[in-house]
Structure 1
Amino acid sequence: MSTDQITGTSTDGATDATPASAPLKEYRNAAGGWGSVKAVASILVQEHVTLNGSRILSQQNKPDGFACVSCSWAKPADPHLFEFCENGAKATAWEITNKRINADFFAAHTLSELRSWSGFELESRGRLTAPMRWDAATDRYVQTTWEHAFAGIAKELQAIDPNEAVFYASGRASLETSYMYALLARLYGTNNLPDSSNMCHESTSVGLPKSIGVPVGTVQLEDFTHTDCMLFFGHNTGTNAPRMLHQLQDARKRGAEIITFNPLKERGLVSFANPQSPLDMLTPSETQISTQYHQVKIGGDAAAIAGLCKLLIEWDDDAQRNGAPRVLDAAFIAEHTHGFEAFADAMRATSWEEIEEHSQLSRAALENAARVYAQANAAMVLYGMGITQHRNGVHNVQMLSNLLLLRGNIGRPGAGICPIRGHSNVQGQRTVGITEKPELAPLDKLKQLYGFEPPRDKGLTTVEACRGVLDGKVKAFIGLGGNFQVAIPDHHVMDPAWRRLRLTVQIATKLNRSHLLHGEVAYLLPCLGRIEIDRQAGGEQWVSVEDSTACVHGSHGLAEPAGDMLLSEPAIVAGIAKALLPRNPNVDWDAWVNDYALVREAIERTYPDQFKDFNQRFRQPGGFHRPLAACERKWNTESGKANFIVPDTLDEDADMPSRGPDVLRLMTTRGDSQFNTTVYGPDDRFRGVHGTRDVLLMHQDDMTRLGLAEGAAVCISTDSNDGIAREVDGMHVHAFDIPPGCVMGYYPECNRLIPLSHHAKSSQVPASKSIPVRLRKSAAVGQAAA
């Protein structure tokens, strides 16, 4: 079993003996409801924070409270009584737990031993409390001082070329920390600033600028009150952004249509019972969310979208011939778009045989969806990583933009495109400079403000950083949060390479597997969490974050810090900077740490158009929206207009090494009790999986064809031609409502099946939603039986 898998858990982190082959228990209830209430109560008890946790949760996502450390969904100006979801509550309880990891813990366990623990066991031991360095003689982390840690890190970084170091950031650091971190890297001399966007929505950041001239979505929270049609693609809203279900329920109650394209029927997009509604809680009442649900084949989204576009264009052709009202927004297309005729011709020429083959949806099903969209006055498209994490992820995003442009659904109330981001500030850290692309950073402005020559060379993406580790060109890795080595592809290929790094630095709140895969010199630096009170010389500090709708909010910690030795993330960044860099009279790191308002002033000076009156506006209820040109129908593209872009292919598998009935498409996904690589428990109740994550969900016909019985143990392997064996043994197959030829497995357990080279073209996002795999009966189980 992988060290990041669980076969069952108890509240103290020990494992139970729940059989991995336990049958699925169908979950027939709505998302939300008593199931969510019970889950929230359970996590508070598990982390021993029942009373304190309840108090803190009452201020989650409130104007005077803290922004959730989990998902980045929008925070309303007029919040609900409880403005948190089940997974947000789990993330909060996980962070404010009263469990601690101190020097005695590391004295009792070598890192070699800890590598045999599951990811759940590591994180469930509680909060890190003291700065640590790895001692090679004992293979243990030993406590050090902050001064020695900063000096040791600086010594190692000064000994290498700046472009041999990688400054990675996960998506939860504040705007203030992110700005300081990006400036630190560039003052040091590198643009090697990959982040978690490289692993999820980089396809959005690459695709949308070419289509509509902005790298983020155009939908704002108020648009949900004006829309009459929503189309969802590749997103599990009930698990990954549950607070959005409030907006969806309200929209459905006033008659809006919601059409979903997803390989699996996810409970949150089927029905919802509002835990804050007495009617929903005390009666069988629930709201049907999706009015149409189309189970598209994994990787078939572009074909499905092409079918919708083809129908709209051909219906419009018929309308023009017959003198009927136009189906397309001809005035918008003429005034605001470029490339329509080429796109229209390509869609007309696309055959229904091709569309149906790649999408596994019938023409009749697509006609039902297109008819609703054609009749909508204002429509929006919402999507997740089921769109971006594909070989053709960038084209998928651009096809969604094409669909919206056909009817002028960009830049007006109730309409727009809405990439649903994951981590709580992953969009914001890009806004303030964490990017490997020098053309996206205000380098000339930084030069003017801070009196240095910023590096102009392109930095490394996440995939390129991994390649650099493999070939020895990367010698140092600094991680601002996250669980990098578990989140990336090709685990078994990458793990040995980390030992060859000269320096690894991990800034974290909890222990995870990435902290155990260290370089020759390694430091583990514990930081305050966002939920904790951040006391500096200038008083208690506020930070800011940006949500999925480009809205910036304030956040103020409420919990007492987990330990006296913790430093804030800004303080840790500043400590490294002061030890590493020559003194710069234009950067007062100490003043910035004492008063984060000074950092916000620096952000405003750097980005005056985006952050005007930053300190005056960020704490107002509902935050403030950054200006986005596309929302005003101003197009910052080469053509000066919104662009229709013709896809190269509708075939997700065009470059697969082989095809055939025994080659299946695997999508990796998160479970109900999980956020990113953090697993709060082994159950995924919405899918009926309990006590295990060692499962593969597949169509009954595929199981029959391959001779696999329900619960059979199998080995799953990647179908690739690079000579590297990638497989996970001891998985158990279960029949599920999923399109034929498709398989679902859990992330990150199945990440070792993703070749580092299997990524989206242009954006390099790992294509973890469409992996060509084969199944065979488990050799390990057969040997045990023998």
Structure 2
Amino acid sequence: MSDSSDETVGYDGPAGGWGSLQGIARIFGKEMDSPAVLETLRRQNKPGGFMCVSCAWGKPAKPHPFEFCENGAKATLWEATSRRCTPDFFAEHSVSELQGWTDHALEQQGRLTHPMRYDRASDRYVPTSWQEAFDAIGAELQALDPWSTIFYTSGRASLETAYLYALFARLYGHNNLPDSSNMCHETTSVELKKVIGSPVGTCVLSDFELCDAIFFFGQNTGSNSPRFLHPLQEAVQRGCRIVTFNPVRERGSIAFRNPQSPTEMLTGKDTPISELYFQVKPGGDLAAIMGLCKHVLEREARQWASEQRHLIDVDFIAQHTQDFDGFRQCVEQTGWEEIERESGLSRADLAAAGDIYCEARNVIGVYGMGVTQHVHGSQTIGMLVNLLMLRGNLGKEGAGISPVRGHSNVQGQRTVGIAEKPELVPLDALKKLFGFDPPTEKGMNTVEACEGIIAGRVKAFIGLGGNFVRAIPERARMEKAWTGMRLTVQIATRLNRSHLVNGEVAYLLPCLGRSEEDMQASGPQTVTMEDSLSCIHGSVGKRKPASEHLLSELAIVAGLAKATLPTNPKVRWDEWTGDYGKVRDLIEATYPDQFADFSKRMFTPGGFYRGNKARERIWATESGKAEFTLPTTLRACGFEDAPGRYRLITLRSNDQFNTTIYGYSDRMRGVEGTRDVLLMNPDEIARAGLETGQVVALVSDAGDGEHREVGGLVVTPFSLPDGCVAAYYPEMNPLIALSHHDQLSKTPASKSVPVRIRAE
């Protein structure tokens, strides 16, 4: 089956299959990895092994022989590379020169090997000692107002490191703890907390063995969480029906060939994944789900009138929900014409999907950043909860809501204290454990941190992993403002763009990778992380570190804290660095209801479940019940359509993870050798007076007076809905205004950006 016409680029093969193996082999050769890395891959995502640094999908209790996907293997090969980025490299290249390199070329230099200090006079990084770096950074922090500093973390740091990093920030005196969740799933954390009392999803892996239907919204499983394809394949084979809503026809949601099945590989047998697949408008999921709800309630009315039998779960609604009558009235007052216009789908299509929902006993709603990264993404999540509640599909086995997180421990970091909102953290427990008064003022999230940097209020930035400057909106304005800070510190494994835009004082601190042995005073250490399904896993690295000069992330955080903070007899940085088990004891003492017997349970096959009250139908909301919400709009994109204005979708290729670019092959979309493309459907190309292969620029149409432009994009025909275009993240980030974000969470609205096309 092809998902593209003769006029468009595309990919006719399945997700998985030989293409996946070839993709892994290509990166293996490029990184010049030794055959020993195969043993590392064998241990990946298994009890007693190490947890992948790529996606956060759950790990089964009975793993496959190879429990990694194409992107997970690429992430491990990237970390295990034989390439080294040494002080000699920095002596040869100025920072200004490196700013002209591509993201891919920078990371191709391999693993960082020595702590480095930026020397402004020579415009080069120069080697330094760990103690000098700690002392200098500590002195700088001591001279600053704590509230003028940002402690950012990406999604890869362990629970142990994240806990100590958050403690460091609060002992220092602030709650400025933005993380990568602010850029992707903060909308989930805010809206789910409001409507069901839990900031995370309610499903576990076993639910996918019991569901009758799965509804997907804005989630690209094939590229972003390919191991999810195994339970989806098994679900389809036992009769589960899958319905997908996505502006882009993603191959992982269409067909899958299991690379671990010799029969499938040799016979070319694919498993169709989605029974129905709808190319909804970007931001149109809100209207589409409203249409599903309207169809369900119309069927309910007909069934009750003819049979005196309910289709909806009236007992669940009466006992567990709030404001159903208000929601039903809202649905009744919303016309099908508006639903069709805003979703881009017909009533008949939505009725067909609605019938699948009505005929299933257990339904799971799955979504990704195609839902969260819109101006009204929170309302879309609320609407999905509404749909699930109509038939009691919350808080029971085989059903629930399942946001699919991106980075490997981004959810877990929030669990153990990385939060700018003090009400989410047990401050009383921290006060008792460590003998200090934690700050109670709200800190800055990612958007607010960016606004503070532009305004000159933020004087220091410490980045625990990630590529912040590349990942955020407003790149041009941000890079210009970034150099106005006094201090910038980046903790990383490989060189990236963020390391080349520096404050007056700047340090680049290299850390161990997760697959590498972490040897401390008490012996080899274990770290832990949380997956998308709220299960906690232990991780033990075995590989020889890339350099004898590397420190673990936890040791770096402890070293910075020791150099910055006054002595506190209850704060034992050296002791915690020597034995991470003592940090787990602290986590258990701080969160006893979720982490009882933490160290004893961390290697539980499949992880140990930390619990979720909403799964037990205990709703920690203001009303004490799950909340039906009434949308104020059916257009999640947050702006009106206009002649010449397009909704830009930012995409990740299957040859990247977040801002890490492994190569220039987007096999799943038929784009090879470049990332400088503008994807449009052929009819839209013709209406715009453009031609395939023409070079154009995208110009922001935010209407705020700021000029934002990205040029050099080649018009490429691709299957997309009318009125929208697509191009790659992070290259398109300069087009996104900081003000263009979800209204509740301030998550950047990267999946529907108002743009115009200018011919070059």
TM-score scaled by structure 2? Answer: 0.98
One of 648, 651, 656 as aligned partner of 2:632: 648
Task: Report how far residue 25 of structure 1 moved.
Answer: 4.9
Amino acid aligned to 2:20: S
**Correspondence for 1:675:** 657
1:216-235 to 2 correspondences below 5 Å = 216-235=200-219
**Correspondence for 1:598:** 582
Task: Report how far residue 660 of structure 1 moved.
Answer: 2.0
**Correspondence for 1:156:** 140
**Correspondence for 1:408:** 392
1:326-405 to 2 correspondences below 5 Å = 326-405=310-389
**Correspondence for 2:4:** none
Inter-partner Cα distance in structure 2 for 1:41 and 1:24: 28
Describe the superposition over 1:392-442 as per-residue Cα deviations: whole angstroms up to 9, x where unpaired.
011111111111111100111110000000000000000000000010011
Describe the superposition over 1:477-517 as per-residue Cα deviations: whole angstroms up to 9, x where unpaired.
00000000000001111111011000000000000000000
* 2:521 equivalent to 1:548: no
* 2:479 equivalent to 1:503: no
Task: Report how far residue 648 of structure 1 moved.
Answer: 1.1
Inter-partner Cα distance in structure 1 for 2:403 and 2:42: 28
**Correspondence for 1:458:** 442
Inter-partner Cα distance in structure 2 for 1:26 and 1:199: 28
* 2:570 equivalent to 1:570: no
**Correspondence for 2:728:** 746
Matched residue SS, 1:134: strand
* 2:617 equivalent to 1:637: no
Matched residue SS, 1:744: strand
User: When the two structures are aligned, how many residues end up with a matched partner?
Assistant: 754
**Correspondence for 1:482:** 466
Task: Report how far residue 54 of structure 1 moved.
Answer: 1.2
| Deviation larger for 245-254 or 619-628 | 619-628
Amino acid aligned to 1:249: Q
**Correspondence for 2:55:** 71
Amino acid aligned to 2:754: P
| Deviation larger for 386-395 or 723-732 | 723-732
Matched residue SS, 2:757: strand
Task: Report how far residue 654 of structure 1 moved.
Answer: 4.7
Amino acid aligned to 2:682: Q
Inter-partner Cα distance in structure 1 for 2:638 and 2:372: 17
Describe the superposition over 1:507-528 as per-residue Cα deviations: whole angstroms up to 9, x where unpaired.
0000000000000000000000
Inter-partner Cα distance in structure 2 for 1:724 and 1:211: 36
Matched residue SS, 2:672: coil
**Correspondence for 1:263:** 247
Amino acid aligned to 2:286: A
**Correspondence for 1:109:** 93
* 2:682 equivalent to 1:710: no
Inter-partner Cα distance in structure 2 for 1:721 and 1:543: 47
1:121-132 to 2 correspondences below 5 Å = 121-132=105-116
Inter-partner Cα distance in structure 1 for 2:191 and 2:413: 19
**Correspondence for 2:644:** 662
Structure 1 gaps of 5+ residues are 1-22, 779-786
Task: Report how far residue 323 of structure 1 moved.
Answer: 3.1
Instruction: State percent identity of aligned pairs.
Output: 58
- Determine if contact 1:699/1:741 at 8 Å carries over to the other structure: no
C-alpha RMSD of matched pairs (Å):
0.9
Describe the superposition over 1:613-661 as per-residue Cα deviations: whole angstroms up to 9, x where unpaired.
10110112111001100111110011001010111111235545xx423
One of 271, 275, 280 as aligned partner of 1:296: 280
Describe the superposition over 1:539-566 as per-residue Cα deviations: whole angstroms up to 9, x where unpaired.
0000000000000000000211000010
* 2:523 equivalent to 1:539: yes
One of 717, 731, 750 as aligned partner of 2:713: 731
Task: Report how far residue 50 of structure 1 moved.
Answer: 4.3
Inter-partner Cα distance in structure 2 for 1:653 and 1:775: 18
- Determine if contact 1:477/1:504 at 8 Å carries over to the other structure: yes
One of 574, 577, 580 as aligned partner of 2:564: 580
Task: Report how far residue 24 of structure 1 moved.
Answer: 6.6
Describe the superposition over 1:249-297 as per-residue Cα deviations: whole angstroms up to 9, x where unpaired.
0000001000000001100000000000011100021100000001101
Amino acid aligned to 1:598: K
Amino acid aligned to 1:317: A
Describe the superposition over 1:447-470 as per-residue Cα deviations: whole angstroms up to 9, x where unpaired.
111000100000001000000001
**Correspondence for 1:698:** 680
Inter-partner Cα distance in structure 2 for 1:98 and 1:367: 55
**Correspondence for 1:759:** 741
One of 396, 412, 418 as aligned partner of 1:434: 418
**Correspondence for 1:12:** none
Matched residue SS, 1:230: strand
Task: Report how far residue 314 of structure 1 moved.
Answer: 1.8
**Correspondence for 1:311:** 295
Describe the superposition over 1:364-383 as per-residue Cα deviations: whole angstroms up to 9, x where unpaired.
00000000110101000010
Inter-partner Cα distance in structure 2 for 1:559 and 1:524: 23
Inter-partner Cα distance in structure 2 for 1:345 and 1:713: 49
Inter-partner Cα distance in structure 2 for 1:147 and 1:26: 53
Amino acid aligned to 2:172: Y
**Correspondence for 2:124:** 140
Inter-partner Cα distance in structure 2 for 1:539 and 1:756: 46
1:21-100 to 2 correspondences below 5 Å = 25-100=9-84
**Correspondence for 1:527:** 511
* 2:162 equivalent to 1:178: yes
TM-score scaled by structure 1? Answer: 0.95
**Correspondence for 1:623:** 607
**Correspondence for 1:282:** 266
Describe the superposition over 1:663-706 as per-residue Cα deviations: whole angstroms up to 9, x where unpaired.
11001010010000000001101100000000111111111111
Matched residue SS, 2:726: strand
Matched residue SS, 1:532: coil
Task: Report how far residue 606 of structure 1 moved.
Answer: 0.3
Describe the superposition over 1:315-348 as per-residue Cα deviations: whole angstroms up to 9, x where unpaired.
1122222234211111100111011000110011
- Determine if contact 2:9/2:716 at 8 Å carries over to the other structure: no
Inter-partner Cα distance in structure 2 for 1:216 and 1:84: 24
Inter-partner Cα distance in structure 1 for 2:437 and 2:520: 31
Structure 2 gaps of 5+ residues are 1-6
Matched residue SS, 1:58: helix
Amino acid aligned to 1:682: Y
Describe the superposition over 1:226-248 as per-residue Cα deviations: whole angstroms up to 9, x where unpaired.
00100000011000000000000
**Correspondence for 2:543:** 559
**Correspondence for 1:212:** 196
**Correspondence for 2:309:** 325
- Determine if contact 2:282/2:637 at 8 Å carries over to the other structure: no
